[in-house]
Amino acid sequence: MGHININVSDLDASIKFYEKLGFGVYIPSIPYIGLTAETKSNSIDEGSRTALGLPQETLGRACIMQLDNGYPKLDLTQLNDMPPSTPLNNTNLGLVRMCLATVNLEADYNKLTNLGVDFISPPMTGKDGMAEIAVCIDPDGTLIELIQVHFDKWRV
How does pLDDT run across 48-102, given as a tens digit for each residue? Answer: 999 999 998 889 999 999 998 888 899 999 999 888 888 888 899 888 899 999 9
Alpha carbons 23 and 90: distance in angstroms, whole number? 23
Alpha carbons 132 and 150: distance in angstroms, whole number? 8
Q: In terms of pTM, does the model score above 0.85? A: yes
| pLDDT score for 72 | 87
End-to-end, the C-alpha distance of the chain in Å comes to 26
Same domain, 73 and 102: no
| pLDDT score for 81 | 85
Same domain, 71 and 9: yes
Give 28's contacts (C-beta < 8 A, 6+ positions apart). Answer: 36, 37, 38, 63
Alpha carbons 106 and 110: distance in angstroms, whole number? 6
Nearest CA among 116, 124, 118, 126 for reference residue 144: 118
Q: Is residue 86 part of a domain?
A: no
Q: Is residue 68 part of a domain?
A: yes
Quickly count: other Cβ atoms within 10 Å of residue 131's Cβ.
19
Alpha carbons 119 and 134: distance in angstroms, whole number? 7
| Ramachandran region, residue 116 (left: φ > 0; alpha: ψ -120 to 50; beta: rest) | left
How does pLDDT run across 105-143, given as a tens digit for each residue? Answer: 999 999 999 999 999 999 999 999 999 999 999 999 999
Same domain, 33 and 67: yes
The answer to whether the peptide bond before residue 72 is cis (omega within 30 degrees of 0) is: yes
- The whole domain housing 102 covers 97-153
* Segment (H or E) for 15: helix 11-20
Number of domains in the chain: 2
| pLDDT score for 106 | 97
Domain C-terminal end among 79, 107, 129: 79
Which amino acid, one-letter code, is at 99? C
Same domain, 62 and 104: no
Same domain, 14 and 75: yes
Q: From residue 124, how far is each of 24, 33, 63 by CA, in Å?
A: 28, 40, 33
